[in-house]
Amino acid sequence: MYPSKSFEISVSLLLLRLLMEFTEAYKQTGPCCFSPNARYLAVAVDYRLVIRDVLSLKVVQLFSCLDKISYIEWALDSEYILCGLYKRPMIQAWSLTQPEWTCKIDEGHAGIAYARWSPDSRHILTTSDFQLRLTVWSLVNTACIHVQWPKHASKGVSFTQDGKFAAICTRRDCKDYINLLSCQTWEMMGVFAVDTLDLADIQWSPDDSAIVIWDSPLEYKVLIYSPDGRCLFKYQAYESALGVKSVSWSPCGQFLAVGSYDQMLRVLNHLTWKTFAKFMHLSSVRAPCSAPVFKEVDEPLQLDMSELRISDDFIQGNSENAPEGHYRVRYKVMDLPITLPSQKPPVDKPNPKQGIGLLSWSTDSQHLFTRNDNMPTVLWIWDIRHLELAAILVQKEPIRAAAWDPTCARLVLCTGSSHLYMWTPSGAYCVNIPLPQLNITDLKWNSDGSCLLLKDKEMFCCASVLMLPDSSEDSSDE
C-alpha cells in the first residue's frame, strides 16, 4: 500500500528539520563577519562591537566605539579587528588577546574613506577622502608611509597570496599607474604605467605570476601584466559599447572569468590568455539544453495528522511562518522550452541594470554562478569541466546574495524572503527558516564551511548544514 500525499509532505517537513539547524535571532545594526580562523563572529550593534563564539554564539568580548560602526574587517591572524567609523571619520582597532589594547587612527581634515588590513596583520591601510593619499599605519611602531593619489578608495589595491607584495593603483597627470610595494618594508619596488583610459580595478592571479586590470565600462579592455610591468596580453571582445562589468580568477588560477554588459560570460585560460569558453544568458531556454531549470513555486500544504504522529511544537514551528492558506515553497523542474523573466533597462538612465553583475567560482574551480542583471530573479550555474550549463534557478524575487560553501560545491542564495535556497550538483532545495519575521537579505559562510550567517535589516542568525536529502528521489522538495 503506497503512502498518501499528506504523509509524504509530513516526512518532507521532517527532513527539513534534519537538513539545517538554526540558532535564535540576535540584533545587529551593521556589518557582521566571521574571523578567518572560523572561531569568532563580529557583530556591529550601533556603537558596540560584539564578538561571539561561533559554536555557542555567547559573547566573548564587547568593545565600545566612539561612533556608529560602518565597517568591520578582521586581521588575517584573527587576533585584531578594525572598525571603520566613517561618519566621524575614524578607525578603531581592537585586540582579542589583549582587551585593554586599543588603536585609534584619525587623518584629521583629510578624512578616511576606507580602511583595510595588510597580510601581516600588523599594518592598516587607509585611503583619505577624495583619494588624496593612501597611508600605511604600523601597529608595531609609530611609522606611517604615504602613497600619493590612489585611484580608488575601496578598490584598486591587491595583495599577493603569499602576502609579500601589494599592487596599488594610482593616477596622476591623467594617466593610470601600478605601484608595487613590499609588504615587509613598505618600500616602493617599482612603478609602471598601464594602457587604460580609466582603470576600474586590479587583481593578482592566485599563483602571484600575473596582474589583471580592467578599464571602466565605457571601454572594453582587460589587460594582463607581469609584476615587472610587461603587458602579457590585451583582451577586447568588442568596441563601441559598454564593456566589462565583473572579473574573477578561479581559485586554481587557471581560468579568468570576464562578465560583460553584452550579457555574456567569457572565460580565458592562463596559458595563452585566449578565450576558450563563451556562455550566453538567453531569455529563452530550449532543447537540446540538458540542464534542469528549477523554478520556485508555492504549493498548498495539507497535513493529515491521523497518518503521522508529530508533536504540536513541530507543526507550529513549520506552519506559523507559512503564507496565508498554508503554502510551502518548493522547486519545480520545468519543461523546455521556457521563457525566463527579464526586464529591459531604460536607455535614458546611467548604470543600466544589464550584464553580468554577479559572478563567483566554486572552491574547486569546477563550477561558477552568474546573474545577468536584467534577469534579477535568475541564477545561472555553469560546469567548467564540460563547458556547459549545469542548472538554472528561477526565483520569485530578485536574488540579493549568493555564496559557495568554501569546502564543497554547495551554493546558497537568498532573495529577501524567509526562505533559504540551496543548490548542489545533485539537486536544488528550498529551506524554510523557522524564525518569525526574518527575511534574509545577505549571507556569508564561515571559512571552514561549518556555519552560515543569515542577515536581514535588523537581525541575524546562524545555520549549520547537517545533511542533504538524497537527490535520486526528488531534488526539488524542501
* Model confidence pLDDT, tens digit, residues 247-302: 999 999 999 999 999 999 999 999 999 999 999 999 999 988 899 999 999 988 76
Q: How many CB atoms lie within 10 A of CB 334?
A: 16
For residue 302, what pLDDT is reported?
64
Q: How many CB atoms lie within 10 A of CB 29?
A: 16
Q: Distance (Å, rounded) from C-alpha 321 to C-alpha 103? A: 45
Cell 551554493 belongs to which residue? 411
Phi, psi angles (nearest 5°) of residue 38: 70, 15
For residue 304, what pLDDT is reported?
52
Peptide bond into 206 cis (omega under 30): no
Q: How many CB atoms lie within 10 A of CB 438?
A: 19
Q: What's the count of helices (H) and strands (E) in the chain, helices before strands? A: 2, 41
| Chain centre distance of CA 243 | 22
Contact between 63 and 49 (Cβ < 8 Å) = yes
Cell 609602471 belongs to which residue? 192
Q: Distance (Å, rounded) from C-alpha 243 to C-alpha 246? A: 10
CA distances from 4 to 11, 231, 335, 430 (A): 11, 67, 26, 22
Contact between 180 and 167 (Cβ < 8 Å) = yes
Sheet containing 199-204, strands listed edge to edge, beginning at the edge strand earlier in sequence: 199-204, 211-215, 222-225, 231-235
Q: Distance (Å, rounded) from C-alpha 20 to C-alpha 302? A: 22
* CA triple 402-9-396, angle to 5 deg: 35
For residue 303, what pLDDT is reported?
55
One DSSP character per residue, 208-254 reads SS-EEEEE-TTS--EEEE-TTS-EEEEE---SSS--EEEEEE-TTSS
Contact between 148 and 162 (Cβ < 8 Å) = no
Q: Distance (Å, rounded) from C-alpha 301 to C-alpha 281? A: 34
Give me the residues paired with residue 369 across strands: 360, 381
| 3-class SS of residue 261 | coil
Contact between 430 and 332 (Cβ < 8 Å) = no
Span 330-342, pLDDT tens digits: 999 999 999 999 9
Cell 566613517 belongs to which residue? 86
**Measuring CA to CA, which residue among 361, 401, 367 is closest to residue 382?**
367
Contact between 105 and 123 (Cβ < 8 Å) = no
For residue 465, what pLDDT is reported?
78
Q: Give the burial string for 236-245 (b: 16+ CB within 10 Å, else e).
A: ebeeeebbbb
Cell of 423: 543548490
Residues of the chain with pLDDT under 50: 1-18, 305-325, 468-478
Cell 586590470 belongs to which residue? 213
Span 422-449, pLDDT tens digits: 999 999 999 989 898 899 999 999 999 9
**CA-derived radius of gyration, the chain:** 24
Contact between 260 and 245 (Cβ < 8 Å) = yes
